[in-house]
Amino acid sequence: MVREQHKRLTVLGATGSIGQSTLDIVRRNPNKFDVIALTAYSRVEELAALAIEFAAELAVIGDATLLPDLKAALSGTGIESHAGEAGLIEAAERETDVVMAAIVGAAGLRPTMAAVRQGVTVALANKECLVCAGDLLMDEVKMHGATLLPVDSEHNAIFQVFDFDRARGVEKVILTASGGPFRGRSRDSLLNVTPQQAVAHPNWDMGAKISVDSATMMNKGLEVIEAYHLFPVEKAQIDVLVHPQSVIHSMVEYADGSVLAQLGSPDMRTPIAYSLAWPERMHVPVKRLSLSEIGSLTFEEPDLDAFRCLHLAKEALMNGGSAPAILNASNEVAVEAFLAGRLRFVDIAAVVSDTLSACDIKAPQSLSNVFEIDKMARREAARWLGVRTQ
């Protein structure tokens, strides 16, 4: 009997929504994967339990003050433990076949870059990496011969239907958006929405930050920038279409008028499994799509007045330079403040817009440059919060 080839897998952000969905697939396919390294930031007990369950070589906790807890939880297991950013980078550099990059925010940039520099397959969920350092990251992908597979459902859909050998025949990529929990609402009606309402997404079960991004539609804006870096298209060729059922995950329109789309139930395990099995396909027990049950699919244009963040992100892409990095950093600060009850929902866009106006948008030349810009934008956004939310 031929033994099935195991893929060695590292999961950065193992305790999060994407990390857990990834490990759910691994759990169901014990003959396909060997887990090498797992990371988290603060959920130390969960991390240790996963490391033990999957017999990982290494577990890394981002918050270095929690290293003693991790060591205690792993004592006697033989699993190595590390902490801090250096530890996260070490996890990304461990010899492996596939790295799932699922840390949230710009905090994932250095570890993701380290995985890319290994020249392995990087399944990329962490869209903020491409938003703040897209050109630099894609250069490194080419330089190190890494394979970058998009996990984000829209980009995974486009990846599946994009004719990379005849890219000149592509006229448009159309990113679909559910519209989030506040679709159809006016800007004025959103003044007093709570974090709890904002994270209650109608179709997808996701981490808190991306759920708020979906509610403001900043998520779709970040995805427009992500698409620009992932696919050989011009900025003006990327469109957004609201499609509340989240069945068509995105589309590519060709010169002859053909439109190719990828469809499926809204379950992240499909794009995750696609990335893990690529170039093969693997079985995943997601709900099968029943179009007759769904009945009708509907579409509408996004409301850029109520969802100003989408407009700001598109503008940042057009302006280029460090504008996307500033947009991302200020959005991270604003979303955190909103989740903590310190900022109104509608003011997330105000923080981002004012930070973009206050910062110089000269293009970053290096990764350390990106971090300087990120820091400057965070400082400026925090100053906004300090002055305006007293």
Figure out which of the listed residues 6, 8, 43, 344 binds ligand NDP, where binding follows CB under 6 A: 43
Indicate whether 127 belongs to the interface with ligand NDP (CB under 6 A): yes
Nearer to ligand NDP, 17 or 96 (CB): 17
Could you tell which of Mg ion, ligand NDP, none binds residue 264, using a CB distance below 5 to 8 A set by kind? none
266 binds ligand NDP, rule: CB under 6 A: no
Q: Is 128 in the site for Mg ion (CB under 5 A)?
A: no
CB 228 within 8 A of CB 238: yes
- Closest CB to ligand NDP among 204 and 254? 204
* DSSP symbols for 251-278: EEEETTS-EEEEE--S-THHHHHHHHHT
Q: Which is nearer to ligand NDP, 60 or 233 (CB)?
A: 60
What part of residues 144-163 is at the interface with ligand NDP (CB under 6 A)?
152
The answer to the question of residue 267 lying near Mg ion (CB under 5 A) is no
Total interface residues for ligand NDP by CB under 6 A: 28
Which of 57, 80, 90, 128 contacts ligand NDP by CB under 6 A? Answer: 128
Task: Report the nearest approach of Mg ion to the CB of residue 155 (Å).
Answer: 7
Task: Please state the closest distance from residue 92 (CB atom) to ligand NDP, in A.
Answer: 11
Using CB positions, name the residue nearest to ligand NDP.
16
Point out the residue whose Cβ comes nearest to Mg ion.
Answer: 152
How many chain residues interact with Mg ion (CB under 5 A)? 3
Q: Which is nearer to ligand NDP, 138 or 186 (CB)?
A: 138
Q: Which of 114, 96, 108, 105 is nearest to 12 (CA)?
A: 108
Q: Please tell me what DSSP assigns to residue 14.
A: T
Query: Which of these segments, 12-20, 278-286, 302-310, 377-385, binds ligand NDP (CB under 6 A)?
Result: 12-20
Q: Which of 9, 29, 51, 62 is in the footprint of ligand NDP by CB under 6 A? A: 62
Q: Cα–Cα distance between 251 and 25 in angstroms, integer? A: 26
For residue 248, which amino acid is it?
A: I
Which three-class secondary structure state does DSSP give residue 37?
Answer: strand
Question: Residue 100 in 3-state DSSP?
Answer: strand
Task: Check residue 15 for interaction with ligand NDP (CB under 6 A).
Answer: yes
Q: Which helix (H) or strand (E) holds 229?
A: helix 218-230
Q: What is the distance between the alpha carbons of residues 114 and 292, in angstroms, rounded to a whole number?
A: 45
- From residue 100, alpha-carbon distances to 91, 239, 272 in Å are 11, 27, 9
- Work out whether the CA dihedral 50, 55, 56, 62 comes out positive or negative: positive
137 binds, among Mg ion, ligand NDP, none (CB under 5 to 8 A by kind): none
Question: How does DSSP assign 296-356, residue by residue?
Answer: ----B---TTTTHHHHHHHHHHHH-TTHHHHHHHHHHHHHHHHHTTSS-TTHHHHHHHHHH
- 384 contacts: CB under 8 Å, gap ≥ 6: 350, 351, 354, 355
Is 126 or 355 the residue whose CB approaches Mg ion more closely?
126
Site string for ligand NDP, 74-103 (x = CB under 6 A): --------------x-------------xx
Of residues 140 through 159, those in contact with Mg ion by CB under 5 A are 152-154
269 lies in the site for ligand NDP, by CB under 6 A: no
Q: Are 100 and 111 in contact (CB under 8 A)?
A: no
My answer on whether omega of the bond before 279 falls inside 30° of 0, hence cis, is yes
- Residue 16 CB, shortest distance to ligand NDP, in Å, is 2
16 is a site residue for ligand NDP (CB under 6 A) = yes
Which residue, among 358, 346, 351, has the nearest Cα to 387 in the 3D structure? 351
Query: CA 341: distance to chain centroid?
Result: 24
Taking CB under 6 A as the rule, does residue 18 contact ligand NDP?
yes
Q: Distance of CA 139 to CAs 42, 132, 233, 368, Å?
A: 32, 14, 16, 15
Report if residue 125 touches ligand NDP, rule: CB under 6 A. yes
Q: Does 107 bind ligand NDP (CB under 6 A)?
A: yes
Angle formed at CA 312 by CA 361 and CA 122, multiple of 5 degrees: 75
- Restricting to residues 176-235, name those near ligand NDP by CB under 6 A: 204, 206-207, 209-210
Binding of ligand NDP by 170 (CB under 6 A): no
The β-bridge partners of 251 are 174, 261
CA neighbor of 330 nearest in space, from 380, 389, 370: 380
Please report, as ranges, the residues that interact with ligand NDP according to CB under 6 A.
13-19, 40-43, 62, 88, 102-104, 107, 125-128, 152, 204, 206-207, 209-210, 268
**In the complex, which residues of this chain contact Mg ion (CB under 5 A)?**
152-154
